Structure 1
Amino acid sequence: MPPSARWGSWRWHFRRRRRPTSTRRVISTAVGWAIRSRPEQHVDVPEIDIATTVERLAAGAAIVDVRQPDEYAAGHVPGAPLVPLAEVPERVAEFPSEGEVLIICRSGARSARAAEFLRTQGIDAVNVAGGTMAWIEAGHEVATGDGLGA
């Protein structure tokens, strides 16, 4: 094979390389698969809208945000602590075991996965449909920052 042909295939090889995947995406995907890989433990997750969320928060329900820290810092429901989806299985002991726990994310997909997992652990978790996007769209107040203080 002439050197030019080998050089061409070598150059093609480098163009075909994929970008490295972020650690956050790998962990989030792995947690999602782990949560969904137990069909025998599948449970139905109740889902509530924003108006019902406001009522339940006023009645004393807890709320937890399962987005990533940068999303949380950009805007979150006031008083909602952050537990990223990838950390939910290892931090399950931090969730209240008594009473209802509302789970929120950006649009409702990640929170549904987290709520399903938490319900298999005996926690009364409820998914907030529409997530933080629906919360903001409804005109409710949002807090910014990481929640850890200055």
Structure 2
Amino acid sequence: MITRHWWVLKKNTYTILFISWVLIITVLSLFSFSEVDLDTGKLNIPYADKITHFIFYLVFGILGCFFVRERTKGQAELTKTSWFMLVGAIVYGIFIEALQYTMTTDRMAEFGDVLANTFGAFVGIGLVRWYFSKKRPLKWKF
């Protein structure tokens, strides 16, 4: 019984990771931090929020590509998957910014966040494309 459950988890690893990552981004993007004391001390990192957006969507792009690869068993072409995930990341990022604007009182939508999201997804997807390039031994298709 445990072996069967382990196999299901192993077979769906990237699906679980990608969906979990999307939920984490959603919750953190819509959570109000005004009531939480986040004492950062004297550490002041310029553009820390943009760096965070970049990293979140870099991981989104990577996990998203592996998610599509896992769900299609490698049958979806890497180029199509890349475009699909890039457009998906951009649309999702804009959607989250729109939700921040309409559903939260202390969060605001920013065009700079959309740019950071897009650039992060672009770099993440680029890393996946590089990883599965012809010079790499790992093949996109199973």
Alignment TM-score > 0.5, same fold: no
TM-score normalised to structure 1 length: 0.28
Larger Rg: 1
TM-score normalised to structure 2 length: 0.29
